[in-house]
Amino acid sequence: MASPTVTRITNSHQVVSPFVIPIASNPPQEITQFEVTAVLSLRHRVRQLEQQIVAAERSIRARLESGATVEAGEHTAELKESFRRNVAWKDVVWRLAERLYGEDRGEAYCTNVLRNTKPTRTVSLVLL
């Protein structure tokens, strides 16, 4: 069964549309209750699997944090620790410091604020 493309002529230019007009020779096939039930069942199973993954990762993470080791083999599990200073407000501090202290002392003020900002500790589970 061939599907024609739409050709349109505008201002003496031929434009071929990428849209295909289906030829309706047969009515669409009915969607069965079995198909709908299968999709709903799969969605439910995905939610169950996601919950199981979260629980399994939480368990591995807790055991690693308490000092457990990983059995030798093909895969590894480790905790990756990182520290980040949230300095999204840095530009605002620079402008405020320059206004309050002038350009010379503003830089020292900003450096001091950054130095005294406590970094946020983040620990993530890495499974390879």
Contact (Cβ atoms closer than 8 angstroms) between residue 95 and residue 50: no
Count CA within 13 A, CB hemisphere, residue 127. 9
Q: Are residues 63 and 107 in the same domain?
A: no
Enclosing domain of residue 107:
72-128
Res 2 pLDDT > 60: no
- Helical spans, DSSP H, in the chain: 33-65, 90-115
pLDDT at 12: 54
Res 115 pLDDT > 60: yes
Is residue 17 assigned to a domain? no
* Predicted structure pTM score: 0.51
Contact (Cβ atoms closer than 8 angstroms) between residue 22 and residue 4: no
CA–CA distance, 94 with 73 (Å, rounded to integer) = 52
Q: Are residues 63 and 96 in the same domain?
A: no
- pLDDT tens by residue, 14-54: 555 555 665 667 788 898 999 999 999 999 999 999 999 99
pLDDT at 9: 52
Q: Which band of pLDDT confidence, cut at 50, 70 and 90, is reported for residue 111?
A: confident
CA–CA distance, 14 with 16 (Å, rounded to integer) = 7
- Within 10 A of 110 (CB to CB), how many other CB atoms are there? 19
> How high is the mean pLDDT of the chain?
79
Is residue 83 assigned to a domain? yes
Q: Are residues 65 and 84 in the same domain?
A: no
pLDDT at 69: 92
